[in-house]
Amino acid sequence: MKITKIISVIIICIMVFLHQSVAEDAQSSSPPTSLPGHLKPLASEATRLPVSVIQDFPSPYEFFRSYVYPSVPVIIKQGARRSPAFQKWTDEYLKSLPESQQLIRVEMRKVEERQLPRMNMPFAEFLDRYQTTDEYLVARVPDFLKKDVLIPPSLHCTNVTANLLETMLWFSSGGTKSHVHTDYVDIINCLFRGQKDFLLVNYTRYREQIIYDHPEGFYSSVDVERVDLNKFPELRNLEFYEAKLQAGDCIYLPFKWIHQVNSFGSNVAVNIWWNHQAYVVPSPESCGMPDPGLDISLADVRFPYHDQTDTGIDFLRDLHPEVDFVRNPSASLRAFMDEEETESLTEQQFLEFMDMMLSGPEGEIWTEEALHVAHQMFQMLDTDGNGEITSQDMDTFPIKINKFDTFFINLGQKMMILCDIADGQISKQVQEILNKFEEDKVRDVGDTPSHEHGSKYRGTSGHTPMRKGEL
């Protein structure tokens, strides 16, 4: 009996010890709750800075010099009131149009979920049901509504309109929440109804920190209402810019700035996207004198991707071949190797491959930082470490990006850093051109402006003023 009691006591002691150890382990591995903002809405305890506000659209020259190329977001108060849509676009008016029977694409949830299927329905049907359903219209602006939306005066230049990509309509009863994401375009968003709150982060400042778990779409799957800072540590210690748009306001969102958008109340907005990497130089010389009485609508300009089927993806593939590389590095590398008639790539050849994809000024992309990032990418792709990328290496790459393997996530992050470096070189070069125009203007006041830059850059058109029929 004594032995049985002793054994029982020993077992009880062991069980108590194990229970305490497990509890201590669980406590040590549980998510720390002391992180500012942990499991709270995005940026709820972060530093928030106001986005600058201006009262009118500046000239194309001032807009690009002061905001686009320095990468500075700005709110244009009441900028959307210029458009007839601000007064005309009631639900009753939109439903009364015969074209409202056309099919339009609808998101299935107001809280963005890109994996869900989309639904097509007549525009009029959406207008009948959107106030009482969890649905959100995101679609190209229909042709029959384009005449109601005016192009902002800051884009009144053939250099700019030649590089417009797409225009999008956003329509909901409010309560929509976007992913944290990056767009590889410049954007002006004009709000005709409701309120939108934007949270923005300067990507260039945090490019070493930001890692998207969906690199193929440049977005994060973080729950913006309950941010898990342990699962998404890249969202710690960020400085946010905040913009609150009221009906009638517009905002400029710089190329690649990280943003997240919430909408409130019956909500209608239109985006205009243009190609940031087009070497647009909207000088007074190339744009001509502005005509304040000239109204140019979306119907007066061409959006080359408007008739494509997959919104956003088409021009990304055309303008950003690095996107396809991140989605399927093996296919991109094999195509390059076939073209070069080689069975392997040295690091120097890999740099040539990357140079072909990046759009910065020739010979000026490869800063010390860029070379370091490219070297890290080469090491990732050279899986056997023999100093060359071969078919054997590529056979070991994960097959499907939708598994969100760390391989794709890290590759995507480094590719974004390289693109940002290249963009910095583009912006620097174009700002130098704009500064040269400014210097020439100061030096040659009263003289005829010089034309020496006009033919060197894509989109310039000499001294011809822009006319509506030429857009």
- For 350-392, write each residue's pLDDT tens digit: 999 999 888 766 667 899 999 999 999 999 999 999 999 999 9
Which element (helix H / strand E) includes 439? helix 406-443
List CB contacts of 320: < 8 A, sequence separation 6 or more.
184, 419
Q: Degrees (nearest 5) of the Cα angle 204, 185, 464?
A: 115
pTM: 0.83
Annotated domain spans of the chain: 47-319, 322-427
> What pLDDT is attached to residue 469?
37
Determine how many CB atoms are found less than 10 A away from the CB of residue 275.
24
Place of tokens 């990497």: 277
136-140 and 119-122 strand pairing: unpaired
DSSP structure class, residue 102: S
Q: Is the pLDDT of residue 13 over 60?
A: no
**Which of 68-77, 324-333, 345-354, 392-401 is predicted with the least confidence, judged by mean pLDDT?**
392-401
Instruction: For residues 46 and 237, give the distance between their C-alpha atoms in angstroms, rounded to a whole number.
Output: 7
Instruction: Mean pLDDT check: name the lowest of 30-39, 276-285, 340-349.
Output: 30-39
Interatomic CA distance for residues 99 and 145, integer angstroms: 9
CA–CA distances in Å: residue 254 to residues 63, 67, 85, 189, 409: 12, 8, 24, 11, 24
Three-state DSSP at 40 gives: coil
The answer to whether residue 2 scores a pLDDT higher than 80 is no
Q: Domain 47-319 belongs to what architecture?
A: Sandwich (2.60)
Is the pLDDT at 428 greater than 70, yes or no?
yes
User: Is 399 exposed, middle or buried, given 0-12, 13-18 or 19+ CB atoms closer than 10 A?
Assistant: exposed
Confidence band of 401 (pLDDT split at 50, 70, 90)? low
Amino acid at residue number 466: M
List the one residue out of 172, 17, 42, 40 whose CA is nearest residue 108.
172
Please state which of the ranges 176-185, 247-256, 442-451, 453-462 shows the lowest mean pLDDT. Answer: 453-462
Q: Both tokens of residue 312?
A: 């956003």
Comparing C-alpha atoms, which of 328, 326, 318 is closest to residue 359? 318
What's residue 362's pLDDT? 65
Nearest 5°: the CA angle 139, 157, 80 is: 45
pLDDT of residue 292: 61
Using CA atoms, how far apart are residues 306 and 210, in angstroms rounded to an integer?
31
Which pLDDT belongs to residue 446?
Answer: 53
**10 pLDDT above the threshold of 50:** no
439 vs 274: CA distance, rounded Å? 28
**Amino acid (one-letter) located at 391:** S
- What's the fold here for domain 322-427? Recoverin; domain 1 (1.10.238)
Altogether, the residues listed in the chain come to a count of 471
With cut-offs at 50, 70 and 90, classify the pLDDT of residue 425.
Answer: confident
Confidence category of residue 82, pLDDT binned at 50, 70, 90? very high
Mean pLDDT of the chain: 83
Q: What is the pLDDT of residues 431-457, one digit of tens each?
A: 888 777 777 776 765 554 443 333 222
**pLDDT above 90 as % of the chain:** 58
Question: Alpha-carbon distance 337 to 183, whole Å?
Answer: 30
Burial of 96 (0-12, 13-18, 19+ CB in 10 A): exposed
- Distance, in Å, from the CA atom of 55 to the CA atom of 361, rounded to the nearest integer, reads 35
**Burial readout 412-429 (b: 16 or more C-beta within 10 A, e: otherwise):** bbbbbbbbbbbbbbbbeb
State phi, psi for 203 to the nearest 5 degrees.
-60, -40
Is residue 220 within 8 Å of 213, Cβ to Cβ?
yes
Statement: residue 288 has pLDDT above 80 = no
Any idea what DSSP says for residue 151? P
What is the per-residue pLDDT for 315? 62
Which value, to the nearest 10 degrees, does the dihedral of the CA atoms of residues 278, 284, 286, 290 take? 100
Give the type of residue at 237: N
Query: Of 157-171, 184-198, 259-273, 432-446, which gets the smallest average pLDDT?
Result: 432-446
Q: What is the pLDDT of residue 11?
A: 43
Alpha helices per DSSP H over 253-389:
284-287, 313-319, 321-327, 329-340, 347-357, 368-381
Specify the pLDDT at position 365. 85
Give the separation between CA 190 and CA 168, rounded to whole angstroms.
Answer: 11
Residues 160-175: what's their mean pLDDT? 93
Q: Per mean pLDDT, which range of 98-112, 129-143, 203-217, 427-441 is the poorest? A: 427-441
Name the amino acid, one letter, at 49: L
* Phi, psi angles (nearest 5°) of residue 355: -60, -35
Q: Is 58 left (phi over 0), alpha (psi -120 to 50) or beta?
A: beta
- Give the model confidence (pLDDT) of 301-329 as tens digits: 999 876 665 544 556 667 777 888 888 89
CA distances from 386 to 337, 346, 348, 392, 427 (A): 17, 10, 14, 11, 37
Q: b/e string for 224-248 if b means 16 or more Cβ within 10 A?
A: beebebeebebbeebebbebebebb
What does the pLDDT look like over 215-226, one tens digit per residue?
A: 878 899 999 999
